[in-house]
Structure 1
Amino acid sequence: MLNTLPQNIEDSCCPLKCFQDNLKSHFNSKDIKRLSNSLNSTITATHLCSSGNDTMLQCTDCDSHPRENAGIFFKRLESFVEKAISRLIE
């Protein structure tokens, strides 16, 4: 079970940080490490965070989010990334 953000995730660095932290602490496979490294890149953070002024100081503790199974966690991560991609191509 992973701490999973709600479906209506706001665009900011906070969800990205929570997804990164969960991947880092719960998974150890090669493919997950690639995903984690990709999410940790500066380019990814630049495009997934809604503005350059977004600070981590405003983030709620990731552990405060409800725990869900890995399938739901990855669906929400996928949705978060898809929103960012759709903003890029608009």
Structure 2
Amino acid sequence: MTITNSEIIGYDQVMHVIRKHLALRGVSEERIVDDATWRNLAIDSLDIMTLTQELEDTFGVKIDEQDAMDLQTVGQAIEYIVNARAVPAARTEGA
């Protein structure tokens, strides 16, 4: 599933991708809630980076590497993606 730039991204869409990704790493769906930390889910930095890549590819956003490492919970990651898609692309004035 790839989202086009014109589509609005919602909480459920991002949560679905996160749950699917973490299920492949053996994390049960009921543990994947907004306030779950990556540490509590036994997700390491490599897992975070592969999840980041999947979110970028799926939703067409760019996630700064430091931002990805600063996001500590599932809810923070969802909020980041939803907000990234809500901000229109910067335009160059006079172009």
TM-score greater than 0.5 by the shorter chain: no
Q: TM-score, normalised by structure 2?
A: 0.29
| Larger helix percent | 1
What TM-score does the superposition give when structure 1 sets the normalisation length? Answer: 0.30
Q: In terms of Rg, which structure is larger?
A: 2
Larger strand proportion of the pair = 1
- Greater relative contact order (Cα 8 A, min sep 6): structure 1 or 2? 1
